[in-house]
A = this chain, B = another copy of it.
Amino acid sequence: MRNLSLSTLGPLAALILLIVLGASLNDNFLSAANITNVLARSAFIGMIAVGMTFVITSGGLDLSVGSMAAFVAGMVILAMNALQPQLGVGLPLALIGIGTALAVGLLAGLANGLLVTRVGIEPFIVTLGTMGIFRSLVTWLADGGTLSLDFAMREYIGPIYYGGIFGISWPIITFALVVVIGEIAMRHTRFGRYAEAIGSNDKVARYSAVRVERIRLMTYVFLGLLVGLATILYVPRLGSASGSTGLLWELEAIAAVIIGGTALKGGFGRVWGTVVGVLILSLIGNILNLANLVSPYLNGAIQGVIIVLAVVLQRKKTSAEGR
């Protein structure tokens, strides 16, 4: 396939190296349980990173997604706890939770998008601002502590995270679906094409009758929705949200996108690459936990080295091109 250029092959090679490394360090690395764990925990950041791919591709940025996830989770828990007396534990309440997550995610994304497109503030500033706002709000709602879903309801929705079908857990299935949809949207729909065009040169896009502001807005809304979706999977896992939920997810999501070969300046989006980036980041953590290589204090250093190395292969080319 023509899209599988060097820029995706680089990180893919890094991913394969990591897998080989993991397998050689620990026999359980390739066990179904470990693979399921890694994939399922990648799902949150993964879905968000797919949305982030569109935002970055069209020349934007969103620093607020981690806080947004915490805020959405908080709202979901509040809504479900509030309605449980009337609705009882069951499907209707679960659907309320799902609806809340998507609605709040969408609105949060819309807020970011409108500030960027209508008010015309730099995405970095807008989302730095909303990052503080969302995180503050959830801390405030939780009175500084943790918002916890009622225990019975948590048990009821637990299978959304832990359950699955054909031995594949729901987070993995959802993530896979999001990736496929994202890939199709990027490669085979107008939305993706426009996002790339806007990121490449928004003036040209405007002169080509592309509704630049609308597409930009849509990328933020889409990302917000995906944050909502990620939260739907997140809440059943531990049934709680606090000021520390989703901490630094934004950095991880952006890093995954960039490692995957999407240009930070916009214009080129690689959904598959993003998936590879997310898996690389998850695997680094997993391998560090599985193998006692060094002092745990140095985990961050090893992580840093691998991230840089993962990109070296692919970037060699770009730098050569540059001169």
A: residues with CB less than 8 A from B are 63, 115, 118-122, 124-126, 128-133, 135-137, 139-140, 143-144, 202, 206, 213, 243, 251, 254-255, 258-259, 264-265, 295, 297-305, 307-308, 311-312, 315-316, 318-320, 322-323
Contact = CB atoms under 8 A, between A and B. Distances in A.
As for how many copies of this chain the complex holds, the number is 2
Contacts of A251: 63, 128
A126 B136 CA distance: 30
Given A144-B297, A202-B322, 13 more contacts: A63-B251, A120-B316, A120-B318, A121-B315, A122-B258, A125-B307, A128-B251, A128-B307, A130-B308, A132-B301, A136-B301, A137-B301, A140-B298
Contact of A322 (B120, B136, B308): B120
B140 A295 contact: yes
Contacts of A63: 251
Contacts of A243: 297
B264 A121 contact: no
B136 A297 contact: yes
9 contacts: A119-B316, A121-B312, A125-B307, A130-B304, A131-B304, A132-B304, A133-B301, A136-B298, A213-B323
Contact of A304 (B119, B128, B311): B128
A140 B322 CA distance: 38
A258 B143 CA distance: 32
A316 B115 CA distance: 11
